[in-house]
Amino acid sequence: MPSPVGHALGGLAMGWLAAGGRRMERPLTAAILFAGLGALPDVDVLVEGTHRLYTHSVAAVAIVAAVAVLLPGRPFGLSRGRFVLACTLAYGSHLLLDWMGDDRSVPIGIRALWPFTDAYFQSSLKWFPPVERRYWLPGFWTANVRAIGWEVLVLAPLVAIAAWWRAVGTRRARQA
């Protein structure tokens, strides 16, 4: 499962890509929102016995979409639909990355389709190495630095593409 760094990069990339190549108001605030939404599902680690359950499901994604719809105005100068899509995909990126991660703690995977099923899902791809949460174990730092390095290597190009696309859109908007 990816680290918070990987999830933040995934959320940022997906949010910016979904926002499209348009001029955005307060792009730094939007970047923080999308990165935060990408990492948000792991807040469930604060409640023992719930990690990778409810916040890692399509139900949670639907709640994020509903909250985004209810926000007043046009956040960041985006249309309501574009903003809802960006927030939903930023949050949903967490589920995708966890599904593609190498989970070694039982139960394996995430309950992505809760409340429709209690089944856990994990891809056979295992693109992202596991993150070690037990800080007292030898190799804690080594494993996590390697995992974060891999996440940056894989996800930073997506963030760069999203930033480039945004820059092109902003330039076009200024010329128009």
Q: Which pLDDT value is given to residue 150?
A: 98
**Tokens (6 digits) for 38:** 């990408």
Map residue 117 onto helix, strand or coil. Answer: coil
Q: Using one digit for the tens of pLDDT, what is the confidence trace for 138-154?
A: 999 999 999 999 999 99
* C-alpha span between 61 and 89 (Å, rounded): 8
Rounded CA separation 56/7 (Å):
12
Q: What is the pLDDT of residues 15-73, one digit of tens each?
A: 999 998 777 889 899 999 999 999 999 999 899 888 889 999 999 999 999 999 999 87
- What's the pTM value of the predicted model, to 2 decimals? 0.93
**Matching residue, tokens 């916040």:** 55
Does 8 have pLDDT greater than 90?
yes
* pLDDT of res. 168: 83
Give the pLDDT confidence of 90-102 residue by residue, as tens digits. Answer: 999 999 999 999 9
Mean pLDDT of the chain: 93
Where do the domains of the chain lie? 4-171
156-166 pLDDT tens trace: 999 999 999 88
* pLDDT recorded at residue 93: 98
Retrieve residue 170's tokens: 């902003």
